[in-house]
Structure formats: C-alpha cells, structure tokens
Amino acid sequence: MPYLRSLPDDAVLLQVFQRYPEYSRPVIDYHELVMRGPSPFTVAERELIAAYVSGVNACAYCHGVHTATAEAFGVPPGLLADALADLDSSAVDERLRPVLRYVGKLTSAPSRVGPDDADAVFGAGWDETALYHAVLVCALFNFMNRMVDGLGIRADESYYAVSGNRLHSVGYAGLQSLLDVS
C-alpha cells in the first residue's frame, strides 16, 4: 500500500508519475538520457547496473523491474541474483565486474570509494566516460530507490515483467505519453 493516500492500494510508480506529472516529466527525460542515450555501455549493461544497484539497496520494486528489463535486453535470467550473491563467481562478464563492484561500493559505502576503485574500472578497459556513465546510472537508481521505498511503492513478479517489457519496447521516453491519463 503506497503512503500517498490519494493513490489506489495497488499503485505502482507510473501512477505516482501520473499524479505528479510536472515533477515526473524531467525525471523521465533524465532516465531516457542516462539509460538510452549514447554511452560506452549497452542498454542491457545499463539496465544490469540499475538492477544491481537496486539489489544492493534491497529495493525490491526497482530491482524486479530492472532485472526484467535487463533480461528483455538479453541479460541471462538469474545473472543478477548470482551477481548479488557472489559477484566474483557469477557469470557476469569479467570486464563488467569492476564496474558492478564500483557501483555496489558507491551505493553501500560511498565515503570509502577511492582512486583504487576507479583504477580497477580503468584496468578492465573502460575509460573516464564509462566511469562517468556508471556513476550516473548508480546515482539515478539510488535516487529512484529512495523515492520508491519512501513512497511505499510495491509490486509483484507479474508487474515486473509487464514494466520490463514496456521499458524494452517504448523506453523511458514512451512513458511520457502515459502521464496524461486521468
């Protein structure tokens, strides 16, 4: 049950966006830029980063939605659960592991992130633009995790698939047309 009493008991994030479209439009635009704009990371990798950060934060809603979205873009089912359980023994690509390690640490212990963490990302072959993009995805999903959890937004597995498929087919920009629903 969401904490906003004007919303139905089964409200999802889209209904929060519809309730506050003037605040939601810029947030959705930023999602489109960060998650679908030009980047050293593929869309699947950015969705994987988003789901990983949300998993580190234990935000079930965002983790579920973005795991489903990542899988819709080709991330193997179960990879995120394995990565969260033990990143080093998971099937995550070797080159992406330092990136996930970085965003995981930035999420759980931001004051402890240092040059060695960045150097590990660079050592895996990523450049400064990639580190910047990883931080943007991480920051965006820390923001969204707080918003979702702070508003009491919850959903179940069936909704994760619906939302993941929608994000796969229309992206974040496609959500804009859904804000004008009364």
Domains, in order of start, for the chain: 31-177 (1.20.1290.10)
Give the confidence band of 180 by pLDDT, cuts at 50, 70, 90.
confident
Give the confidence band of 182 by pLDDT, cuts at 50, 70, 90.
low
pLDDT tops 60 at residue 160: yes
pLDDT on residue 22: 96
Distance CA 56, CA 16 (A): 24
Give the confidence band of 181 by pLDDT, cuts at 50, 70, 90.
low
Rg (CA), the chain: 16
Answer for the pair 86, 78: CB distance below 8 angstroms, yes or no. Answer: no
First to last CA, the chain: 20
Torsion from C-alpha of 167, 144, 82, 126, nearest 10 degrees: 80
Prediction pTM value: 0.96
What's the mean pLDDT in 43-66? Answer: 98
Distance CA 75, CA 42 (A): 11
What is the residue-averaged pLDDT of the chain? Answer: 96
How does pLDDT run across 120-151, given as a tens digit for each residue? Answer: 999 999 999 999 999 999 999 999 999 999 99
How does pLDDT run across 30-47, given as a tens digit for each residue? Answer: 999 999 999 999 999 999
